[in-house]
Amino acid sequence: MDTQVRIQSAIDVESNEKSLGQMSGSRWFLRKEEVYGEGASAAYFYLLKSGFIRSFKTLSDGRRHVQSFSIPGEFFGLESGDRHFVASEAIIRSKILALPRSAFTASSVPDQSALKYILDITALELRRAQYHNLLLLRSAQERVVGFLLDMSERQQNSFDISLPMTRTDIADYLGLTIETVSRMLGKLESMSAIEIQRRRVILRKMAVLLEMFA
């Protein structure tokens, strides 16, 4: 993958942690617990403190489209509009801080930086959606590699990446079948580019992976 395509990681959460923390308490969500449903009121958006989130849309014929995964330190649920466009749920037990949208956007809020904060998060979300689009135009092999590279970058550029989501989640995110995802991962492992563990993948040959994404 073209490195300039990948997403620079995010907004500095830590520096805002304190002020955000004052607004509302965080709570734990169990595995497969819904944070918000499709079409629900979008009065809140969320900061994931720990765990893993999937945001998805269910089509009328039952097909499922995974719009995004969120990892600790990232925001989710800010898709604009007054209704959530997708549903979100915890992939594993997750600690989540709910933030009232109005506290940032209400015209009574004198602090312009709060609004700017929302804008930055939305813009980052847009960038991610565009990167996702780019993935979906490519071959199965490239999609899988691009997905791993993105996950690596967002997980502090680690080569040892955590993938608690199922193959079905990955397949629905990449627009492939679980069999194809499994085969592509298998192929990458057979060429020693990666090493597959249970819910974890180790990137062994970054140069090869980067080359494949070209």
Partner DNA sequence: CGGAGTTTTGATCGAGCTCAACGTGGGTGG
Partner DNA sequence: CCACCCACGTTGAGCTCGATCAAAACTCCG
Judged by CB under 7 A, which of 50, 122, 162, 180 binds DNA? 180
Judged by CB under 7 A, which of 64, 101, 183, 205 binds DNA? 183
Here the contacts of 10-17 (C-beta below 8 Å, separation 24 or greater) are 10/73, 10/74, 10/124, 11/75, 11/117, 11/120, 11/121, 11/124, 13/47, 13/73, 16/117
Taking the complex as a whole, the smallest distance from the CB of residue 205 to DNA amounts, in Å, to 18
Tell which positions 3-42 bind a copy of itself, by CB under 8 A.
4-5, 39
Tell which positions 139-168 bind DNA, by CB under 7 A.
139-141, 166-168
Q: How many residues bind a copy of itself (CB under 8 A)?
A: 40
Taking the complex as a whole, the smallest distance from the CB of residue 192 to a copy of itself amounts, in Å, to 24
d(CA 42, CA 48): 16
**Stretch in the footprint of DNA (CB under 7 A) among 6-14, 47-55, 134-142, 151-159:** 134-142
Q: Provide the 10 A C-beta neighbour count for residue 176.
A: 20
User: What tokens does 200 get?
Assistant: 């974890």
CB half-sphere exposure, 123, CA atoms < 13 A: 10
Nearer to a copy of itself, 86 or 201 (CB): 86
